[in-house]
Amino acid sequence: MPFYLEIIISVSLLTGGVFLLVGSYGLVRLPDIYMRLHSPTKASTLGITGVLIASMFFQSHLKGFLSIQELLITLFLFITAPVAANMIAKTALHHSNKPAEKTQNQALMDTIRDRESPPSNSIK
Amino acid sequence: MMLLPMPFHSLLLFIVWLLLNNSVSPGHIVLASFFAITIPWLVTGMRDDHPKILRPWLAIRYVLMVMKDIITANVEVALLIIGPAKKLKPGFVAIPLDVTTDLGITILASTVSLTPGTVSAEVSKDKAWLFVHALHLENEAELIESVKQRYERPIKEIFGC
ipTM of the complex: 0.74
Residues in chain A with CB shorter than 8 Å from the CB of B125 are 115-116
pLDDT score of A76: 84
pLDDT in the model for residue A13: 92
Nearest Cα residue to B36 out of B66, B62, B10: B10
Beta-bridge partners for B119: B133
* Chain B residues inside the 8 Å CB shell of A32: 90
B129 shares contact with chain A (CB less than 8 Å): yes
Name the residue type at position A92.
Answer: A
Q: Which residues are CB-neighbours of A54 under 8 A, at least 6 positions away?
A: A8, A9, A10, A12, A13, A16
Q: Measure in Å the smallest separation between the Cα of A4 and chain B Cα atoms.
A: 24
pLDDT at A14 > cutoff 90:
yes
Q: How far is CA B57 from the centre of its chain?
A: 16
Chain B residues with CB inside 8 Å of A98's CB? none
Average pLDDT for A89-101: 80
| CB contact (8 A) between residue B135 and residue A90 | no
Q: Which residue has the higher pLDDT, A31 or B32?
A: B32
Give the least confident one: A58-62, A115-119, B28-32: A115-119
Q: What is the pLDDT of residue A124?
A: 45
- Give the residue, B105 or A110, on which the prediction is more confident: B105
User: Which of A42, A72, A83 has the CB atom closest to B73's CB atom?
Assistant: A42
**Residue A104 DSSP class:** B
pLDDT, chain B, mean: 80
The per-residue pLDDT for range A54-82, each reduced to its tens digit, is 988 888 888 777 777 788 888 888 888 88
Residue-averaged pLDDT of chain A: 81
Q: Can you give the pLDDT at residue B161? A: 60
Neighbours of A85 (CB within 10 A): 23
Report percent pLDDT > 70 for chain A.
Answer: 96
Give the Cα separation of A111 and A117 in Å (integer): 7
pLDDT value of residue A10: 92
Q: Are B90 and A22 in contact (CB < 8 Å)?
A: no
Contacts with B48 (C-beta within 8 Å, 6 or more apart), sequence order: B102
Evaluate if residue A123 carries a pLDDT over 70. Answer: no
Residue ranges of domains in chain A: 3-115
Beta strands in chain B (DSSP E): 91-96, 118-123, 129-134
Q: Are B18 and B24 in contact (CB under 8 A)?
A: yes
pLDDT band at A120 (very low <50, low <70, confident <90, very high): low
Domains and CATH numbers, chain B: 7-46 (no CATH), 56-159 (3.30.70)
Residue A113: pLDDT above 60?
A: yes
**What does the pLDDT read at residue B115?**
76
The residue-averaged pLDDT of B139-159 equals: 80
| B62 has pLDDT over 80 | yes
Q: What are phi and psi of A52, to 5 degrees?
A: -70, -35
The angle, 0 to 180 degrees and rounded to 10, between the axes of the packed helices A70-94 and B7-21 is 110
Highest mean pLDDT among B12-16, B92-96, B119-123, B132-136: B12-16
In which band, very low, low, confident or very high, does the pLDDT at B2 lie, cut at 50, 70 and 90?
A: low
**Cβ pair B108, A97 in contact under 8 A:** no
For the ranges A105-119, B24-38, B83-97, B147-161, the lowest mean pLDDT is seen at A105-119
Pairing of strands B118-123, B129-134: antiparallel
Report pTM. 0.76
CA B132 – CA B117 distance, rounded (Å): 10
